[in-house]
Structure 1
Amino acid sequence: MAMSLGPLLLVFVLGLVVIPPTLAENERYQHFLNQHYDAKKGSRDDEYCEHMMKKRHLIPPCKAVNTFIHDTKKKINAICGESGSPFGENLRISNSRFQVTTCKQKGGSPRPPCKYRASKGFRYIVIACEDGWPVHFDESYIGP
C-alpha cells in the first residue's frame, strides 16, 4: 500500500502557517501573567514585592514600578470582553475593582539590590488586549 506524501505535506505546511501566530499570542499572554498575575491574596508587604520581583525574573535591572493583580485568570481575561469597557486608544478598563499590589522601587539605581515599597488596595485596572487576551497592563491609570 503506497501512500502519497501530498496530503501530509499540505498538513505540515498549513501547520507552519497557523501555529506561529498562536504561539506568539500565547507568549505575550504568558508574559503578561508572569509580570502581573498573582492569585494569592495573603501578605503583600515590601518583602512580598522584593520576593515576587526576583521570583518572576523582573529584575535586574531594577524595574521602577510593577503591579500584581490578585484575582482569577478568568476574571482578568474577561476584561477583554464583557467585563471591560473601551478606554482610550486600544485599551480596556475593568467594570469592577480588583485587589492589587503595586511595587515601587525605593531609590533610583537600576542595579541590584532592588528594594521595593508595596502599596495595596482595590482599583479599576486598564489593560491592552489582543485577540481576546490581556497582553499589557497600563500602570499609568490609577483611578478612584
Structure 2
Amino acid sequence: MALQKTLSLLLLSLLTLLGLGLVQLSYGETMYERFQRQHVDSKQRGVTSLYCNTMMQTRGMTRPRCKQFNTFIHADIGAINNICSTPNIRCKNGRMNCHAGIVRVTDCRLTASSPQNCRYEGRGSFRHVVIACEGNPLVPVHFDS
C-alpha cells in the first residue's frame, strides 16, 4: 500500500512538472524553450515581410502547416522574464498566470499559403503584450496577446 502511494505521488509530481513545461518533453523542448523559439528575437528589429517569411520558416512554424499569426518580441530574454514579475492578470483562457509589459515586436500574419510555401506580412510596433508565466522562478511559457 505504501509503495502504491509513493508511486502515485511520483507520477502526479511528474505530470505536474510536464504540465508546467519545466521538464523536457519527448521532442526535447520545454515550454520555456518553445516560447523562446517561437517568440524571442533580441538581435533583430525586423518589420518586413522578408523578415517574417525567413523567421517563420527557420523557427519551424511553417510545417506541417503554416501558422496563421505569430509575434516576435525584440528584447533580451532577461527583459522578457522580468515581465513575469509584474502583477498577475487574467489570461484569455481564464487562468490568472498572465502578466503584461510593453516591448518592441514584429507581428507576422499569414497572407498566402500553398504546400511547402507560406507567405507572411510583417508589421512592427512598440506595444503592450500579455504572456503566461509558470514555474519557480516564473518564466514565460505562452504568448497570450
Q: Tell me, in whole angstroms, the C-alpha distance in 2 between the residues paired with 1:78 and 1:106.
A: 33
Matched residue, 1:93: 99
Matched residue, 1:105: 110
TM-score by length of 1: 0.72
Gaps of 5+ in 2: 1-9
Gaps of 5+ in 1: 1-13, 140-144
Q: Tell me, in whole angstroms, the C-alpha distance in 2 between the residues paired with 1:80 and 1:34.
A: 18
Matched residue, 2:127: 123
Give the length in aligned residue pairs. 119
Work out which of the residue numbers 117, 133, 137 in structure 1 matches 2:139.
133
TM-score by length of 2: 0.72
- Which has the larger Rg? 1
Residue 110 of structure 1, CA deviation: 6.6
Matched residue, 1:71: 75
SS at match of 2:54: helix
RMSD over aligned Cα, in angstroms?
A: 2.4
Matched residue, 2:48: 45
- Over the matched positions of the two proteins, sequence identity in percent amounts to 34
